[in-house]
């Protein structure tokens, strides 16, 4: 078995934000391999994060982001379960990152269930009309419409969008990773995007 040094634990903590004991255990389980330990902690954390996502999040902060030309700004409510996490600098940084996402990608809604049914139906009608003269069978048309609706969600729903700093992650993934880190639920309450002239 590899000797687990305090430097190894420190490095793993910096990469994962996990607790010292969890980092030590992960390193012992993975024979001192840092990359395997990161993966081990992610799997363990994300599994428990899924369970936590249903819990109520009543604490949190209001974050703001003003673009450098001062013509675009965002206010965002990011919620968590405890005041302890709300005061954490990393949590506040997450709120700022998500505010920047809203500024850059101008979503209209937080999540899929926030999209009004009539707007969704309107989109489906448009997509079906586009396919009307394609000569494709109806079930194929429906599959294409389904695909276009998924794309529509990634355009208008914040949690479905690709994270602007890492296209391998969605905003939902970014939040889920932090839930795994903190051990409590995190949700986006609401946001407002202001733009001069709009």
Domain contains 1: no
**Are 146 and 136 within one domain?**
yes
Per-residue confidence (pLDDT) for residue 109, from 0 to 100: 96
Q: Are residues 184 and 163 in the same domain?
A: yes
Residues 166 and 94 in one domain: yes
CA distances from 130 to 22, 23, 41, 119, 139 (A): 53, 53, 46, 17, 15
Going by C-alpha positions, the residue among 80, 86, 84, 104 that lies closest to residue 175 is 80
CATH code at position 32 = 1.10.8.10
Q: Evaluate whether residue 65 is within a structural domain.
A: yes
How big, in percent rounded to 5, are the helix, strand and coil portions of the chain?
55, 20, 25
In the chain, the percentage of residues whose pLDDT exceeds 90 is: 44
Question: What is the Cα–Cα distance from 75 to 103, expressed in whole angstroms?
Answer: 10
Are 94 and 132 in a shared domain?
no
pLDDT given at position 72: 94
Shared-domain flag, residues 38 and 136: no
Supply the range of the domain harboring residue 88: 59-110+157-195
Total number of domains constituting the chain: 3
Residues 124 and 190 in one domain: no
**What does the pLDDT read at residue 34?**
87
Per-residue pLDDT of the chain (198 residues; tens, 9 = 90+): 568 888 888 888 777 666 677 788 888 888 888 888 888 877 776 545 555 556 677 799 999 999 888 999 999 999 998 889 899 999 999 999 999 999 999 999 999 999 999 999 999 888 888 877 777 888 888 888 889 999 999 999 999 999 999 999 999 999 988 888 888 889 999 999 999 877
Q: 171 and 104 in one domain?
A: yes
The predicted pLDDT at position 17 comes to 63
CATH number at residue 100: 3.30.479.20
- For 39, residues 6+ apart whose C-beta sits below 8 A from its C-beta are none
Per-residue confidence (pLDDT) for residue 131, from 0 to 100:
79
User: Regarding beta strands 187-195 and 72-80, do their DSSP bridges make them parallel or antiparallel, or are they unpaired?
Assistant: antiparallel
CATH number at residue 124: 1.10.286.20
Please, what's the largest Cα pairwise distance for the chain?
Answer: 68
pTM check: above 0.95:
no
């Amino acid at each position: 078995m590899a000797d687990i040094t305090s430097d190894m634990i420190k490095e793993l903590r910096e990469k994962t934000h996990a607790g010292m004991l969890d980092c030590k255990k992960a390193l012992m389980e993975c024979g001192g391999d840092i990359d395997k330990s990161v993966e081990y902690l992610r799997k363990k954390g994300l599994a428990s994060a899924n369970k936590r996502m249903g819990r109520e999040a009543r604490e949190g902060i209001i974050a703001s982001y003003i673009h450098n030309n001062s013509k675009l700004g965002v206010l965002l409510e990011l919620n968590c379960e405890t005041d302890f996490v709300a005061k954490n600098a990393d949590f506040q940084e997450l709120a700022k990152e998500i505010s920047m996402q809203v500024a850059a990608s101008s979503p209209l809604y937080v999540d899929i269930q926030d999209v009004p049914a009539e707007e969704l139906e309107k989109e489906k009608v448009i997509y079906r009309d586009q396919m009307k003269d394609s000569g494709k069978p109806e079930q194929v048309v429906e599959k294409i419409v389904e695909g276009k609706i998924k794309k529509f969600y990634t355009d208008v729903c914040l949690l479905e969008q690709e994270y602007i700093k890492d296209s391998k992650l969605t905003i939902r993934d970014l939040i889920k990773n932090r839930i795994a880190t903190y051990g409590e639920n995190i949700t986006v309450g609401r946001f407002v995007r202001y733009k001069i002239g709009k």
